[in-house]
Chain A
Amino acid sequence: MKHIISVLVENKFGTLNRVASMFSARGFNLASISIGETEDPEISRMTIVTRGDDQIISQVLKQLNRLIDTIKVTDLTKQPHVERELLLMTMKLSRTTQHEIFELINVFKGKVVDIKQKSITIEVIGSPDKINTTIDIFRPYGIRELARSGAVAIHRGES
């Protein structure tokens, strides 16, 4: 099962490496990892998406906690939370497809961030599921390049 884990870590060099190498050394799945500073510049928040059964996820959480540079580990999966991912995608643009592309951008509440004669770059924000769907739908129109941020997530409500 997919789990989304939020980890507060020391904002120090090497912390991302410690976390990532723990995943690879122990053979845990690491679907995505994203990291950025929090309101406290000494602390960063990592959002990790991983998969595994209960036993594996319990090990993942414990092994994360065991790292000295992790401050707090929360499995958000079964808690109320908001999860978002950013997609940047450059599409081929032609007379025959441009109308449909613009319509789809509206459907997915995307934004045009750059446009040239034969290409268009769009931005879509949403849950990773929505991002997957977006990519599937746009694929037939010719994706040139895409970049995904990986999920970021936060606990919903008062904690």
Chain B
Amino acid sequence: MHAPGEKLNGSEIFFECLRRENVAYIFGYPGGALLKVYETLYDIKDIKHILVRHEQGATHMAEGYARATGKPGVVLVTSGPGATNTVTGITNAYMDSSPMVIFTGQVPSSLIGNDAFQEADIVGITRPITKHNFLVKDVRELALTIRKAFYLATNGRPGPVLVDMPKDVLNAVCTFEWPETVEIRGFKPTVKCHQNQVEKAAHLIARSKKPLLYIGGGVISSDASEELKRLAIEQNIPVTMTLQGLGAFPGDHPLSMGMLGMHGTFWANQAVNNCDLLIAVGARFDDRVTGKTDTFATQAYKIHNDIDPTNVDKNVKVDLPVVGDAKHFLAAILKEMPEEKTDRSEWLADIRAWQKQCPLTYTNESDSLKTEYVIDEVCRQTGGDAVVTTDVGQHQMWTSQYYRFRKPRSIITSGGLGTMGYGLPAAIGAAFGVTDRPVVLFCGDGGFMMNVQELVTAVYYKIPVKIFLLNNSFLGMVRQWQELFHQEKYSFTDLGDSNPDFVKVAEAFGCRAMRAENPDEAKKAISEALAWNEGPVFVEFKVIKKDMVFPMVPAGASISDMLLDRLNPKTMV
């Protein structure tokens, strides 16, 4: 610990600031521009540095940690390639509004602009993919800049903030000063909702015969699950969630309708297009949710609560915008609800009928394995209480359908950007933050290979993450689109001939590994994997190649027009 007033060098100030921001873990990789920082780090015991094997891995780990804990994830990488390798991870965090602070080393100030060795204009490169970024030009600005970075990353709509630190700044000495408060005149997020708007919203909710709550990741990041549960249950309002909103409301509750949108449930999408009041909270009307916007929830009066005013009227015009924090919004609504309750039994009966008409089902066969079964079985064996990370593609959508998330901060997945390779490092990062619940990864054979090097990190730090590889030997989601919309031309999506022996790969990294090829083996492997916590455990599930995720809304179609199965792809309901 250092006190304000001490003479410190930039590297010492850096760590002292992280300490004061209560940083427990840094995900990082050393390099030339950071030598002084790593020299200082050598003797630091109270902040844990996790050595990754690729800087992209560090960013996804930091994001996994952030989403699992709600605390900002911290990344430390060197200049040039170290910095550019973080670009995908930063973009991912930006799209999914995850709080993250990325520290990059930079060449000495005197060399900036000279095309110096390992120089990259990372501030320029990351301007459109960060909430904000900084180049620290003077060691005297370092502490305040770090304070601002954490403040920006975690307040208002969360997001990634990058701080670029030239080598000479990290070496220079100055008197350490810690700003207790931060004032940024250009950043004043509206947290408290306008009372008039809240009262209008409450009035509409109380009177609506067919209301629907459409819940996004904002409810999870503002920690508003309890308020949501109270509102939905007390007022008998069904709840549908986006991919990032899953877990905000318990998936096993009768009012939960699961996910909406492209691979949402049939009944959730029917409810959207038949409700008379749509209450969007912390959601942004993404194209994967709305399908064709002209036909989206046309019968509904739309209330939209979001902390970011740019989300209002961006994709879908709403009737009552309420800018503010989701937790504040829901709490304020609860205060305004009248004693008298509107009868919604007819509406709930309609929804149950749609659910009966097209339930989520799959048929198991004894000699082959379906991804749906694996996810369903993991859900059963973990009681829906695991922290589940996914990669991107079919398994991700099946996870949203068959893992019934019961708690917030339980699904960690790349939603906005759709980053293959996200899952493994995100799972590792989540496991650093959460030790009282199992951390499970569902991953495809394509995405697994994109950050496979991070298996080393999991093994080295003995992270008990359950890596469930669903190997269909295909880029399954692309294959699905090729079959449905591109004349069955399976162009470069068949990985069957080129995939490695995954069990051997995992073992070579020092990971315990198993394989399962039918439901019995799968069930046994899952229970073995869940019981073993000495380090990472890897299970390869050999699943059916040609399975497709249904129901599905074709891109650009109305969410009422869902493809229900492949045998009858023209079935529009």
Residues of A at the B interface (CB closer than 8 Å) are 9-10, 13-14, 17-18, 21-22, 25, 55, 58-59, 62-63, 65-71
Contact = CB atoms under 8 A, between A and B. Distances in A.
A10 B187 CA distance: 12
B177 interface: no
A8 B370 CA distance: 58
B353 to A, nearest CB: 37
A71 B128 contact: no
Contacts of B132: 68-69
B557 interface: no
A39 to B, nearest CB: 16
Given A17-B127, A68-B152, A62 B309 contact: yes
Given A17-B127, A55-B317, A68 B186 contact: yes
Q: Which of A22, A62, A67, A68 has the most CB of B within 10 A?
A: A68
Contact of A21 (B128, B135, B312, B313): B128
B192 to A, nearest CB: 18
Main SS class of interface, A: helix
How many B residues are at the interface, by size bracket? 10 to 19
Contacts of A22: 128
Nearest to B156: A66
A65 B135 CA distance: 22
B308 interface: yes
A84 B416 CA distance: 43
> 10 closest pairs, A vs B, by CB?
A68-B132, A62-B310, A71-B186, A62-B309, A25-B128, A68-B186, A68-B187, A70-B186, A66-B310, A71-B185
B567 interface: no
19 contacts: A9-B186, A13-B135, A14-B135, A18-B127, A21-B128, A25-B128, A55-B317, A58-B313, A59-B310, A59-B313, A59-B314, A63-B310, A65-B309, A66-B309, A66-B310, A68-B131, A68-B132, A68-B186, A69-B186
Contacts of A69: 132, 186
Contacts of A17: 124, 127
Interface of B: 123-124, 127-128, 131-132, 135, 152, 184-187, 308-310, 312-314, 317
Q: Which of A10, A25, A62, A65 has the most CB of B within 10 A?
A: A62
A128 to B, nearest CB: 28
B187 A21 contact: no
A58 B132 CA distance: 22
Given A55-B317, A62-B310, A10 B186 contact: yes
B84 to A, nearest CB: 17
Contacts, number: 40
Contacts of A55: 313, 317
A157 to B, nearest CB: 25
Given A25-B128, A68-B152, A71-B186, A14 B310 contact: no
A66 B309 CA distance: 8
Contacts of A18: 127
Contacts of A68: 131-132, 152, 184, 186-187
A2 B504 CA distance: 64
A55 B310 CA distance: 11
A58 B323 CA distance: 15
Contacts of B128: 21-22, 25
Contacts of B184: 68
Nearest to B157: A66
A69 to B, nearest CB: 6
Contacts of B313: 55, 58-59
Contacts of A71: 185-186
Given A9-B186, A14-B127, A59-B313, 13 more contacts: A14-B123, A17-B124, A17-B127, A21-B127, A22-B128, A25-B128, A59-B314, A62-B309, A62-B312, A68-B152, A70-B186, A71-B185, A71-B186
B194 to A, nearest CB: 16
A66 B185 CA distance: 12
Contacts of A63: 310
A14 B126 CA distance: 12
A25 B130 CA distance: 13
A75 to B, nearest CB: 15
B308 A66 contact: yes
B222 to A, nearest CB: 18
Nearest to A62: B310
Contacts of B308: 66
Nearest to A67: B186
A70 B127 CA distance: 14
Contacts of A62: 309-310, 312
A159 B131 CA distance: 31
Nearest to A70: B186
B161 to A, nearest CB: 9
Contacts of B309: 62, 65-66
A17 to B, nearest CB: 6
A65 B128 CA distance: 15
Q: Which of A13, A14, A22 has the most CB of B within 10 A?
A: A14
Nearest to B148: A68
A13 B112 CA distance: 14
B189 to A, nearest CB: 10
Contacts of A70: 186
A64 to B, nearest CB: 10
Nearest to A58: B313
A43 to B, nearest CB: 9
Nearest to B310: A62
Contacts of B124: 14, 17
A146 to B, nearest CB: 31
B406 to A, nearest CB: 34
Contacts of B131: 68
Contacts of B186: 9-10, 67-71
Nearest to A25: B128
Q: Which of B132, B187, B308 has the most CB of A within 10 A?
A: B187
